Structure 1
Amino acid sequence: MNVFEINDAAAILGLHLEGPFINKEKRGAHLSEYLMDGFPEGIKSFENVFGTDLRNVRIVTIAPELPNSMEVIKWLTNLGIKVSLGHSEASLACSLEAIRAGATGITHLFNAMKAFHHRDPGLLGVLASNEKNRVFYGFIADGVHSDPVALRIAHQVHPTGLMLITDAVSAMGLPDGEHQLGDSKLTVKGHRAVITGTQTLAGSVISLDSCVRRMKQFTCCEAHTALNCATLHPSQFLGISDQMGSLVYNSIADFILLDDDLNIKATYIKGKKVWQSV
């Protein structure tokens, strides 16, 4: 079904393939036995995993330091699929090469990537490079994955590229305790979700509207600035800002009503009210 034909419910715009072409050293909660060491056969290595029908794929996360990544990045870009760099130990030079090959995103900035170093800033350095205006980056603004100061720094360096994301897992909305995440056990306490028995973060349990409120709180920005990071910027990254992410003429009338504290009061899909707070 075409997602733009759904009239009364939330719709998935497409798939984000986050793995298995990521660096095992920065795998986060991904199980290492499922990860690939690169693309030994180039494009065919990708097709061996995902097949040749990629019509529903919107985003692919790749660690650009993996062998033959640049060939695959160029190919995916030519197919109209957005490439995001992440779960990576890439140098700044490698990261910039990937961007010139067509990558336009960074997956959950600061998390599962090489730490900043003044002699090689790594993937983080892209935000202050000459290529930054071509790049959007996701940020998990739950106050757990990154300190609020990290959000302030990123926003000040490249405000128009910031996309608020949840990275939420299936335990979101469930009580604290132990839950299942694929083949792994997940322990949730408050706003923190970790692989059971470790301190490894395994996604979040925060909602997107909470991320918007926290961004406004953490950065002291205006409400419309925080809202753009959850609406306009993601739609620009996906190349659908003429249809979604803003209230421009002839766009799809998907919108929410908020109170002064940015709490959701009502949800509209294609101009039809589908939810209202009590």
Structure 2
Amino acid sequence: MDAVTLRGGRVVTPGGVVDADVVVEHGRIAAVEPRRPAFVSQDDSNPGRPGQSPGGSVDLEGRWVLPGFVDVHVHGGGGAQFNTADPEEVLRVARFHAQHGTTALLATTVAAPVDDLLVALGAIRTAVETPAADAAELLGIHLEGPFLSRRWPGAMDPGHFLDPDPALLDRLLAGGRVRSISLAPELPGACGLIERAVDAGLLVSLAHSDAGYDDAAAAVRAGARAVTHAFNAMRPLHHRDPGMLGAALDLDELTCEVICDGVHVAPAAVRLLQRLKGPARTALVTDAIEATGLADGEYRLGDRRIAVADGRATLPGAETIAGATLTMDRALRNAVVFCDVSVADAARMAATTPAELLGIADRKGSVAPGRDADLAILEPDLSLAGVMARGAWVRPLGADPAAVQPPSPSR
């Protein structure tokens, strides 16, 4: 890969915001150098094309340079979803989200019949093993279910939920590539299953649950380290019965996902969560579905039909929210507004914290020498200007946002 210098950016680094040039070589960040005057001729500047490594220099003209976003909870986007038998559909999701600043993600499945779930895991594994240069990196699989509470199904079909089953977990893990599992800690045998999953190297997150505080605390002792879409699909907080949500807010061991779209969680509640947990224990996620980026209409979430109106996804004829139509660039902007936090803190929640949660902070989640050259370039108003993934432009600077939106699929 050719070397390129991104000149004159406001760079969000682990040490703070620096006016600097970012040098990219061989797909990695070679240096972050304090800004110095430089002339970039027309011939020397190369904005690049999607999937191609740039060469020479690019003048950022004071734009923000953030680490590429890491989304640990995303089901689909651009007319495709991860509950599929088609590896190309998996890659379509990864390509879509790359256009919105996500440079790495966990392909997240919803609960489904076991045989169907195993087929989907096979398709995702194939996509992981045949990566595309113009797509977000597929870090592995996040299983949202099937070990969830029937009392809090959200938009999923509770008929697909099962009690914790070590033999089934082994079947799901047999093909490799599973990196995370969301489960309800109050179910019989849950703590034993958590220990088994942690021993297998998985991140365990607590979700879709009627658990009490003590159930959640026991799960943490067993190795759970996160809470899936905090506030959603769980018992509400009560001052005499704080439940799993109270544990999520109270226990330092737990990092909380939050869907920062203004639909799933009120801005005041997002602000409260962030103040209690801080950027180091708050992870922005999209929970995006296949309808993300498309017009209102009827879509899928797993094998269920859902309806999208004014960007809000619900089960048809009901108020039950069915995933989100959120992208990570919007989530970051919302976090800045909702929580009144700095761009650096929002970038931590969108990139660094999820990378740390997955144990990949040595290569993802920060703009620092030696890390992958995964970069989200933002305009001063925080709208997305360009995206680089592993040293290659996947969305060149100045691209028309409308040009990267897929057409609505026929149904």
- TM category (shorter chain) comes to over 0.9
| Cα separation, 1, equivalents of 2:153 and 2:300 | 18
| Cα separation, 1, equivalents of 2:134 and 2:233 | 36
What per-residue deviation string (whole Å, max 9, x for no partner) do you get for residues 107-148 of structure 1?
A: 00000001101112111122443x31x221110000000110
Given that residues 193 and 202 in structure 1 are in contact (C-alpha distance below 8 angstroms), is that contact kept between their aligned partners in structure 2?
A: yes
| Cα separation, 2, equivalents of 1:124 and 1:154 | 10
| Cα separation, 2, equivalents of 1:128 and 1:161 | 10
Task: Give the equivalent residue in structure 2 for 1:25.
Answer: 151
Q: What's the TM-score once normalised by structure 2's chain length?
A: 0.63
| Residue 208 of structure 1: how far off its partner (Å) | 0.9
Q: CA separation of 1:177/1:128 partners in 2, compared to 1, >3 Å: closer, same or farther?
A: closer
Instruction: Tell me if 1:147 matches 2:266.
Output: yes
- 1:168-247 counterparts in 2 under 5 A? 168-247=288-367
| Cα separation, 1, equivalents of 2:199 and 2:381 | 42
Q: CA separation of 1:175/1:262 partners in 2, compared to 1, >3 Å: closer, same or farther?
A: same
Given that residues 3 and 13 in structure 1 are in contact (C-alpha distance below 8 angstroms), is that contact kept between their aligned partners in structure 2?
A: no
| Cα separation, 2, equivalents of 1:6 and 1:207 | 20
For residue 14 of structure 1, what is the amino acid of its counterpart? G
Q: CA separation of 1:127/1:21 partners in 2, compared to 1, >3 Å: closer, same or farther?
A: closer
Higher share in strand: 2
Q: What's the TM-score once normalised by structure 1's chain length?
A: 0.92
Given that residues 17 and 57 in structure 1 are in contact (C-alpha distance below 8 angstroms), is that contact kept between their aligned partners in structure 2?
A: yes
| Cα separation, 2, equivalents of 1:231 and 1:25 | 32
| Cα separation, 2, equivalents of 1:214 and 1:24 | 31
Given that residues 258 and 266 in structure 1 are in contact (C-alpha distance below 8 angstroms), is that contact kept between their aligned partners in structure 2?
A: yes
Instruction: Tell me if 1:101 matches 2:222.
Output: yes
Given that residues 215 and 226 in structure 1 are in contact (C-alpha distance below 8 angstroms), is that contact kept between their aligned partners in structure 2?
A: yes
Q: CA separation of 1:35/1:128 partners in 2, compared to 1, >3 Å: closer, same or farther?
A: closer
RMSD of equivalent CA atoms: 1.7
- % identical equivalent positions: 35
| Cα separation, 2, equivalents of 1:147 and 1:125 | 17
| Cα separation, 2, equivalents of 1:6 and 1:122 | 42
Q: Which protein has the larger Cα radius of gyration, Structure 1 or Structure 2?
A: 2
| Cα separation, 2, equivalents of 1:106 and 1:45 | 22
Given that residues 61 and 107 in structure 1 are in contact (C-alpha distance below 8 angstroms), is that contact kept between their aligned partners in structure 2?
A: yes
| Residue 6 of structure 1: how far off its partner (Å) | 5.4
Instruction: Tell me if 1:273 matches 2:397.
Output: no
RCO comparison, higher one (Cα < 8 Å, 6+): 2
Given that residues 127 and 157 in structure 1 are in contact (C-alpha distance below 8 angstroms), is that contact kept between their aligned partners in structure 2?
A: no
Q: 1:46 aligns with which of 169, 183, 208?
A: 169
| Residue 250 of structure 1: how far off its partner (Å) | 0.8
- 1:29-108 counterparts in 2 under 5 A? 29-36=155-162, 38-39=163-164, 42-47=165-170, 50=172, 52-53=174-175, 55-108=176-229
| Cα separation, 2, equivalents of 1:167 and 1:5 | 22
Structure 2: tracts of 5 or more residues without a match: 1-125, 401-411
Task: Give the equivalent residue in structure 1 for 2:277.
Answer: 158
Structure 1: tracts of 5 or more residues without a match: none
